Each structure stands twice: as structure tokens, then as C-alpha cells.
A and B are shown apart, each in its own frame.
Chain A
Amino acid sequence: MSTLLTYISVNNGKIKRSSLEVLSRCTQEANKLGFKSAALIIDENATQYSSQLGSYGLTKVYTVEGPSFKNHLNTPVLKALSAVMNRVKPKVMAFASTEGSKDILGALAANQGIPALPDMSEFEVTDTGVKGKRPVMAAKIISNVEAEGDSVIISVRSGSYDLINLPSEPEVESVEVDVGEDETKSILKEIITASGDRVDLSEADVVVAAGRGVKDEEGQNLISELARLLNAGIGASRALTESGAYDPSLQIGQTGKVVSPQLYIAVGISGAIQHVAGITNSKVIVAINKDPDAPIFDIADYGIVGDLYKVLPPFIEELKKIKGE
């Protein structure tokens, strides 16, 4: 029986929700077509996460573990993926679209000699492969695409599918993959993470994003205060990651991350297409901008036309009252 295999991304000791979204979709497709849905975890302590996969209708969880998989580095991950794919021969190898999966998708496709469809917003499994939709031209339009092959690699944007609840007791199978030291030619020297408490932006339920209009510390303090109050992840436009005001990993958009929160608040952001490319999966968009013609208002559910320095203090105060703070 054919298998739809989903790669489970683990970051900072947590399974990424976006990979569970993909897993949920794969299980639905597998059940529709009479295939098996299985998951793959590649991590230093892969087995420890398998118990968290009990509600996705899985028949099997494959694990590859060992010290080589402590941090993401493409050579070991590719070796593990190829080993598992050669063994399972999945009809679909599915990933959540993350910096980790973007790093290996092409190499894996070339290694296996099979097609890849990256960054899909919808997909379905067909007799001949996979078809679906991908946002293109800075996510301005949708491209309907198709890949043909006995095995196809895909990645899916965060927020594209809801999680399912389908209890099952998957069998856990560990796959041995040895990565010799001399095999890994590039060496990871160091990981630099920004200080302070960080909500994973691509998973956050609420995101507060700052743009060029936030021009000083006073503005940044207002952003932090609003984010704290709403338990939100802080994001930024390219203008502010470029200037160094915010950490580069907080950039949202075509170059940066795609977010899919319930609530997105854009503060002093004009709404350039490359920024908007990362936020249209948000449920509710609020924009605060002093220019009534700013393009961000074309996509905002609630637009506040005004100076952010005058709008944010009463906005924060009122939210505190509502929240009972």
C-alpha cells in the first residue's frame, strides 16, 4: 500500500504546528484514497517526540536519531531523508515550508530524481502524482501546478490546513543512519539567536509587526507593550530588519516569514506587495498608518488612519481594560 510521508519539523524542542497541519492534510488524503499516512522525525532525540503524534490517524512513525541531528545541517538531514525514502518509497514526501525544508527540498529532489513542488497553499494527491496551488509573483496570483511521478516532494505554507483529531496508535520504527564526520564538508560553527523571549512567529496566534513608521525607542516600546499584552509574536518589515532595529529573523514577507495568525497588527507599515506576501493568511488584519492612501488599507479588516504615537497609547489602554489588566 502506498504511503504519504510527512516530515515533522522540530525546533527548540517543539514540534512545529505547520508540520502537523501538513500531516493532517496527508492523513485526510490517505484516508480518501486508501493509502497509509506516516510521519518521519529526524532529530537528536527523535523518539521522544513520537508520542506527540497520537491524534493524526497515523499508522507509522519513522525516527532517525543521533548526535548528527542536533542542529539542522543539510548533509546529515539529506542522508537520513534519502535513506528513509529509499526504504518507504512514499507516494508523497511532504514538508511544512520552513527555512529547514527550503534548505533541502531541491537537493533531495535531485538526489531521488523526482519532482518537487515547493510552497503550496493547497494540494491533492492524484493517480499520476500531485496537483495543487502555489502563490507566485510575490503571492499576488495563484499558479495551478501539477507534478508527475511515482513519488513527489512537496512543501506547504503554514496556515493552509486545520489540524485533525483522529486518535491512532502508530508503530514507531527507528531507522539507523550513520553520518561519518568526513561526510559533512560544511561545518556549523555557531547559532546566533536574538535575546529576549521569543514567540515563534510562524506559529503565533497574534502578531504585532513594526514598520518604518516606528522610528525610535519610544515606538519600539509601544510595540513591545502591545505584544506583551496580546501575548503576540513581534515581527517587522524589511525596512526595520535592514536598519538593524529588529532581528533579521523577524522579517515577514517574501524574503522573510509567512505568518498565519488570528490577528495581525501592522504598525507604520505601508503594505508593499513583498510584505503583504507574508500576511494574507492572517484571519484579521489591523493596520495603523497615518497615510490614508497606504496600500495596507486595501487588505486591512480594520484600518486606523492616524499617527501611531497618538493611536497606540489609548489602544493599549483600552485593550488592558478589555483584558481586565
Chain B
Amino acid sequence: MKFYVCIKQVPDVSAPLQIKDGQLIQDNDRMILNAYDASAVEEALVLTEKHGGEVEVVLIGPEKASETIRKALAMGAHRGTHILITEKQKIDSAVYARILASYFSDKEYDFIACGKQAQDTDSGLTGSMLAEHLKIPYVTNAVGLDYENHHLTVKRQGDIGQEMIELPAPGVVTCSNDMNEPRIPSLKGIMQSKRKEVNTLTPDELGMKMEDVEIKTRILGFEEKPGRKPGKKLEGDPDKIARKTAHLLDEEAGVL
């Protein structure tokens, strides 16, 4: 079984961040493998370990993002492809999906897995855009995967419950981090990753002229979120403060 996993390097959202003149100032040292993609890598590894096959990761990003490919290789992915763009190229989900679609146009695979969203932008568009470009079926928000007779059984978290969906190959599945606990690379894994093959390409080599690509969504700037202020904090005898809060909710907040 050939599994491709599309991965992205994202800033660690739990790191402190700053906004200056509408721009987001991020600590460039705290870039990580998107947590949802890590779950996708983990699941692809589990399935190929069980049923045989190979996992290849594909990343679009600047030079620095190659460390994230190494991370996935250290987890156990067999090879990687780095589609190189510059730090300055501000592309949106639609362009990511286009680049990926041109990459996959001449590839053979059973499944392509992606994270269900990126941890920084929470957009969640790329996976289903890619499937639409490739004209293959897809399932989003997978919380469980199983493989049998050339199809995946996907447990999808839907609005009113979990949907069990059969996805035939070739197909795209987007993964939730509720699916598994991604493995921490072992020392051996890290050593081996250094010898694994990473193929570097540019969008140009895939037939995409970045200068001509029309980007239809734009970020105009960032701003602080109108914050919530801490309110009343009650400490002391649990019985007293519990009863007091009940009355505050009734008489002061008026929410009962």
C-alpha cells in the first residue's frame, strides 16, 4: 500500500506571540510539525506496518521546513518530497492544493492523508480541494482508520455522531488528532532519518509558474482579540463560595 501524507510546518501556537503594526511576530525557532499532520503520519505508519507498504511525506514550505520532513522520517516515514517555496510567498489553501495536485498528477498511490486543518490557520480546506482537483473520493475529520480489501474504513466525527465510511483507493482522508497519539521519534529513528531520501522540487518544475498564480484570498493584517477580562474569583470555604456563586449567577449575571 502506498500512502502519501501531506505535512506542513507551523508555528507552535502555545508559544508567546506578538502583533506589531498588524504583523504577526513569531519565534522562528518554535516551528513544529502540524499536530493533525503528525496524527496522519502516525496512522499511515500503523497501517503500513500492519498491511505492508510505504509512507512518503510531501511538504510545501521554505528551506527551513526541511527539519519537519526529517521529523516525519524519524517517526518512520520512508521518504520525503520537499516542494520549495520562499518565506515571502504568501500562498493560500487554494494554491497549496493546486501545487499538490500537480505533484500528484503523475503519481500512483492508494491513499493520500492530510491533517484535517493546520494548527495555526485552522482553515481545513486543502485536503478536500486536493481531492476535488484529483477527482477522487475523500473523507474528512477521520478519528479512526482501518484497511481491508483495497479500501479504508474511516470513522469520521460528524455533527451528530460518528460515521463509518468506506473509502475506496485511490482516495484522500483528512485526519483529526483524536485518532491516535503520534509516536516520539526514537534515537535510532533519528539516526536513520538522516540517510533517508528527500527529493527537492520547485513549483516551477511541476509546471506551476508562481508569478502567474492568482491568489484570491489575502490576509490584510492581524489584531488582538478583544480579550475577556478575569472577573470575580472566590476563595475560601467551598460550601460558602459555591452557594454565593449560585446567587451571583441568578442575581448579578442573570443567566439562570
Are B243 and A314 within 8 A (Cβ)?
Answer: yes
Residue of A nearest to B131 (CB): A107
CB-contacts of B156-193 with A (<8 A): 157-168, 171, 176-178
- Docked CA distance A314–B97 (Å): 55
Shortest beta-carbon distance from A220 to chain B in Å = 18
Residue of B nearest to A306 (CB): B238
Number of A interface residues in the complex (CB < 8 A): 96
Are A314 and B122 within 8 A (Cβ)?
Answer: no
From known contacts A186-B139, A303-B232, A322-B256, infer whether A146 and B225 are also in contact, taking CB-CB under 8 Å: no
From known contacts A110-B132, A115-B216, A285-B228, infer whether A136 and B164 are also in contact, taking CB-CB under 8 Å: no
Please name all residues of chain B whose beta carbon is closer than 8 Å to the beta carbon of A249 when the two chains form the complex.
Answer: 157, 160-162
Are B160 and A12 within 8 A (Cβ)?
Answer: yes
- Docked CA distance A247–B167 (Å): 24
Are B124 and A118 within 8 A (Cβ)?
Answer: yes
Are B161 and A118 within 8 A (Cβ)?
Answer: no
Residue of B nearest to A119 (CB): B122
- Docked CA distance A266–B224 (Å): 24
Please name all residues of chain A whose beta carbon is closer than 8 Å to the beta carbon of B246 when the two chains form the complex.
Answer: 315, 318-319, 322
Are B228 and A254 within 8 A (Cβ)?
Answer: no
Please name all residues of chain B whose beta carbon is closer than 8 Å to the beta carbon of A191 when the two chains form the complex.
Answer: 158, 160-164
Are A137 and B242 within 8 A (Cβ)?
Answer: no
Question: Which of A149, A192, A313 is packed against the most chain B CB atoms within 10 Å?
Answer: A192
Residue of A nearest to B141 (CB): A99
Are B165 and A189 within 8 A (Cβ)?
Answer: yes
- A242 at interface by CB-CB < 8 Å: yes
Are B245 and A302 within 8 A (Cβ)?
Answer: yes
Shortest beta-carbon distance from B37 to chain A in Å = 13
Please name all residues of chain A whose beta carbon is closer than 8 Å to the beta carbon of B238 when the two chains form the complex.
Answer: 304, 306-307, 310-311, 314
- A53 at interface by CB-CB < 8 Å: no
Are A109 and B129 within 8 A (Cβ)?
Answer: yes
From known contacts A107-B138, A149-B216, A193-B160, infer whether A315 and B225 are also in contact, taking CB-CB under 8 Å: no
Shortest beta-carbon distance from B173 to chain A in Å = 10
- Docked CA distance A191–B160 (Å): 9
Shortest beta-carbon distance from B105 to chain A in Å = 14
Q: Which of B161, B219, B227, B233 touches A143 (beta carbons < 8 Å)? A: B219
Are A302 and B165 within 8 A (Cβ)?
Answer: no
- Docked CA distance A10–B123 (Å): 23
- A187 at interface by CB-CB < 8 Å: yes
From known contacts A136-B121, A191-B162, infer whether A302 and B217 are also in contact, taking CB-CB under 8 Å: no
Kindly list the 10 A-B residue pairs having the minimum CB-CB distance in the complex, ordered from nearest.
A193-B161, A106-B125, A106-B128, A301-B231, A115-B216, A318-B246, A110-B132, A310-B238, A315-B242, A107-B128
**Known contacts A72-B158, A186-B137, then 9 further A-B pairs from the complex at CB < 8 Å, ordered by chain A residue:** A118-B123, A135-B122, A140-B17, A146-B220, A147-B217, A297-B230, A298-B228, A314-B238, A322-B246
